[in-house]
Amino acid sequence: MLKLLAANGIDSEIQAHYRLIASVRDTTGMHSHDFFELFLILKGSVVHVINNNRQLLQENTLVFIRDRDVHCYEQTTDSDCQFVNLSFKREVLDDLIAFLGEGFPSGRLLEPAMPPSVLLSKTEKEYVRYRLEQLSLIPQEKKLAIKAEVRAILTDLFSRYIKAEAEPFEPAGQPEWLKALCRDVKKKEQFTRGAAALVQLSGKSHAYVCRMFREYLGMSPTQYINELRISYAENLLLNTDMEIVDISLEIGLENVSYFYDLFKRRHNLTPHRYRQFGIIHK
């Protein structure tokens, strides 16, 4: 079986390689590699044969491939497939995991038999495509600039999309009260009250709730609440004409600057630019 090597296809300074693949016919047969990949299906569908399993991947699917996965692509009977691929060296992922810290569920990415994948909305797909295409706009001689942009993109995409796909994972022994709490707090009237709602709904101490969230969900109660707030804000930005200050208040944040900061951390865009981008690609 063919094994692809980073040394043969990835620039040692940039530590990554971006490309557009116009057809399944342009892909390699069954192979493994010593680097990692993210790929996004832009058009059509494809049969992804990976680790002795067959997956039918449709348009808008984002997939993370580990350096131990064995895979290839097969054309479906009714369509070809176009996708973009970002390959990157192990040290890039190691640095990313170190930067995101212990709150990032890296074990959920690396340990399961099958790598994570997530079906994006059309707007999310266009956003990911836009971020990746920025790499082709940087002159190739500016290798350090490309390297920095690759890491910025991966930080954004992993924390926003790949992490989201991992959230349904429930470690063995997760308390039933915690599962019920997470279900209840997804109601708008609860998450807009902030992390205090988690403590009140649980009937347990703040310190204990914090410890359980760190242990089982890999994040603080405040981080969990803010994920729900920003997700709700995204829908309001794309589907209503509400002013941004009113959206901030609607999700329970009186400090609009803090709302902007949270939103930019997740999307690398201001709420205003996110709305503009979503309208353009609807």
Question: In this predicted structure, what is the pLDDT of residue 34?
Answer: 96
Give, in words, the CATH class of 2-166: mainly beta
Amino acid identity of 217? L
Residue % of the chain over a pLDDT of 90 = 58
Please state, in angstroms and rounded to a whole number, the distance separating the CA atoms of residues 178 and 214: 12
| CB within 8 Å of 157: residues ≥ 6 apart | 38, 62, 128, 131
Segment 83-89 shows an average pLDDT of: 96
Which segments of 52-162 does DSSP mark as H helices, in order? 90-100, 107-110, 122-133, 143-157
- Span 176-280 CATH architecture: Orthogonal Bundle (1.10)
Task: Write the Ramachandran bin of 27: left for phi over 0, alpha for psi from -120 to 50, otherwise beta.
Answer: beta
Q: Mean pLDDT in the chain?
A: 88
Host H or E run for residue 229 = helix 221-239
Tokens of 243: 């002013």
Does 167 or 109 have the greater pLDDT score? 109
Give per-residue pLDDT as tens, 9-31: 999 999 999 999 999 999 999 99
Ordered by start, the domain boundaries in the chain are: 2-166, 176-280
Give per-residue pLDDT as tens, 43-54: 998 999 999 888
Q: DSSP label at 26?
A: G
Provide the angle, in degrees to the nearest 10, between the axes of the packed helices 195-202 and 176-184.
130
Please state, in angstroms and rounded to a whole number, the distance separating the CA atoms of residues 240 and 236: 5
- pTM attached to this predicted model: 0.60
